């Protein structure tokens, strides 16, 4: 039972200590790793929005550069001289992919030619009072860009000036859909359910790119704050669904690009890692507990055998313990115990042999300790006095020896100071009757030669028995 308790305590100690370490250090590690993963995720989202904003800027820049190249054509610059529209139409048609809706406006603000979606349009507009036309005539050679929120398109306007004679020729006006400028963003993936939102300066959603549902994007963008910040923020729609967003502004018209990722997906990766680490910790704890249980068994089983063997020895049975599997110091302890068993077994055999000799004697044999108490008697003594060995052992010697009826310690001191010799003495039997005996004694010495007791030999007095035989017997003992 005690060895099992030791094994249980060993297992409990390991489980509690390891569990405490895993909960403290493991919990801290999981928290730090999850925080680190969140930081990485936010950094990726921030980098993604910067990239998306740069893509929009590059798209607008490419359109401005291409419109400037188109305006440098001689067929457009020489129009005030030639007044030939077919060459201009052919020239503009070559760039329909980049500018699906492009017009040439003369110096008076009248639209001379418009190509829309691959053909010449009959819809001619008057731009005399159009702010963009007036700005182009005032600052020719500079491409201006404005946003047409009603059509989700950019309007590019470029005033054209003929350097010979410093004559204002007119302007080119191109309407480019937002999709044409940001088509590369459709390939950008923001997680599994996230999206990119292109937002005007007036917080109007212009486009949702890479989203599984444009409606969901609209709902989230409606919650965006008026002053978009590049710092990550959490949004919540009317249904309580939360999302992370990070925004970056473009260089034109106050347009912003925001990367939006649902909060559940944002934390799913870090949480999955946390669950994985917690699972690994739990498996480690279970495996470690199993190992601790086995190791505790290796310690407790030899101890259990030791306790069982000691109990058997107390009952007079002795056996050695198999210590092949006992670890370290436990094995050394078992080995020492087995040596003690072997020694004790040998000693016990010798004592049994001596006991047989004592019990086979016809004379009374009494061993008395220095404290005056009887330590051992043989069968002849018990027969002579009518006692059992249990009645006499542990009792004072004056119980059976009349000479010691006074002070037993004084009697023993006198005896040990004298030389043992044959005398007549009086024993007292159980009934208190005197029994005259021939009595002699000798000192009992220990392993260091010191007196540790007396061996007394007596026999009921018989006149014909010679004292010399007694002396030889007791000296042999």
pLDDT digits (tens, 9 = 90+) for 181-237: 877 787 788 877 788 878 777 767 677 776 554 444 444 455 555 555 556 666 555
State the average pLDDT for the chain.
77
d(CA 288, CA 17): 11
Helix (H) or strand (E) holding 206: strand 205-209
Long-range contacts, stretch 403-410, CB < 8 angstroms, 24+ apart: 404/372, 408/372, 409/371, 409/372
pLDDT digits (tens, 9 = 90+) for 390-447: 899 989 888 888 877 666 667 777 776 665 566 788 888 888 888 888 888 888 887 7
pLDDT digits (tens, 9 = 90+) for 164-183: 657 788 899 999 988 888 77
What percent of the chain stands above pLDDT 90? 12
Q: Of 90, 157, 148, 154, which Cα lies nearest the Cα of 119?
A: 90
pLDDT digits (tens, 9 = 90+) for 88-115: 888 888 888 889 999 999 889 999 889 9
**pTM attached to this predicted model:** 0.53
Reported confidence tier of residue 63, pLDDT bands at 50, 70, 90:
very high
Tell me the fold of 361-476: Beta-Lactamase (3.30.450)
Sheet strand arrangement including 167-177 = 119-120, 111-116, 101-106, 167-177, 153-162, 143-148
Asked if residue 37 lies in contact with residue 327, where contact means CB atoms within 8 angstroms, the answer is no
d(CA 112, CA 170): 10
**Dihedrals phi, psi of 248, to nearest 5 degrees:** -140, 140
Q: What are the sequence ranges of the domains in the chain?
A: 361-476
The arithmetic mean of pLDDT across residues 363-383, rounded, is: 89
Please provide the DSSP assignment of 365-398 as one string. Answer: EEEEETTSBEEEE-HHHHHHHT--HHHHTTSBGG
List of residues 6+ apart from 261 with CB closer than 8 A: 41, 45, 190, 191, 193, 194, 243, 244, 245
């Amino acid at each position: 039972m005690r060895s099992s308790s030791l094994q249980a305590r060993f297992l409990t100690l390991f489980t509690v200590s390891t569990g405490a370490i895993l909960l403290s250090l493991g919990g801290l590690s999981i928290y730090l790793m999850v925080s680190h993963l969140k930081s990485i995720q936010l950094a990726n989202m921030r980098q993604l929005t910067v990239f998306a904003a740069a893509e929009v800027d590059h798209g607008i820049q490419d359109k401005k550069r291409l419109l400037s190249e188109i305006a440098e054509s001689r067929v457009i610059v020489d129009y005030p001289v030639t007044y030939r529209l077919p060459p201009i139409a052919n020239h503009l048609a070559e760039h329909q992919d980049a500018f699906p809706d492009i017009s040439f406006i003369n110096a008076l603000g009248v639209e001379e030619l418009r190509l829309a979606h691959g053909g010449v349009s009959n819809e001619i507009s008057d731009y005399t009072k159009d702010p963009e036309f007036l700005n182009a005539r005032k600052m020719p050679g500079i491409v201006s860009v404005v946003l047409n929120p009603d059509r989700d398109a950019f309007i590019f306007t470029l005033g054209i000036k003929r350097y010979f004679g410093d004559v204002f020729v007119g302007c080119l006006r191109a309407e480019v859909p937002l999709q044409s400028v940001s088509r590369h963003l459709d390939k950008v993936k923001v997680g599994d359910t996230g999206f990119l939102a292109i937002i005007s300066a007036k917080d109007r959603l212009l486009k949702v790119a890479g989203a599984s549902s444009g409606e969901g994007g609209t709902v989230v963008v409606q919650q965006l704050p008026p002053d978009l910040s590049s710092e990550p923020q959490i949004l919540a729609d009317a249904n309580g669904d939360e999302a992370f967003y990070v925004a970056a502004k473009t260089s034109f018209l106050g347009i912003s690009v925001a990367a939006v990722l649902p909060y559940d997906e944002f934390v799913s990766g870090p949480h999955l890692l946390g669950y994985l680490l917690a699972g690994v910790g739990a498996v480690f704890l279970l495996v470690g507990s199993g190992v601790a249980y086995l190791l505790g068994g290796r310690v407790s089983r030899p101890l259990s055998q030791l306790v069982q063997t000691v109990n058997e020895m107390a009952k007079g049975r002795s056996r050695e313990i198999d210590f092949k599997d006992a670890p370290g110091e436990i094995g050394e302890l078992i080995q020492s115990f087995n040596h003690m068993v072997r020694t004790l077994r040998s000693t016990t055999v010798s004592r049994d042999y001596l006991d047989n000799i004592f019990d086979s004697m016809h004379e009374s044999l009494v061993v008395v300790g220095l404290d005056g108490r009887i330590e051992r008697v043989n069968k002849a003594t018990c027969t002579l006095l009518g006692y059992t060995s249990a009645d006499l052992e542990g009792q004072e010697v004056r119980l059976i020896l009349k000479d010691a009826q006074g002070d037993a310690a004084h009697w023993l001191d006198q005896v040990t100071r004298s030389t043992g010799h044959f005398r007549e003495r009086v024993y007292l039997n159980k009934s208190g009757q005197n029994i005259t005996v021939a009595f002699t004694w000798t000192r009992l010495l220990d392993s260091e030669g010191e007196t540790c007791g007396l061996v007394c030999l007596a026999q009921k007095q018989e006149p014909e028995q010679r004292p010399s035989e007694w002396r030889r017997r007791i000296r042999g003992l």
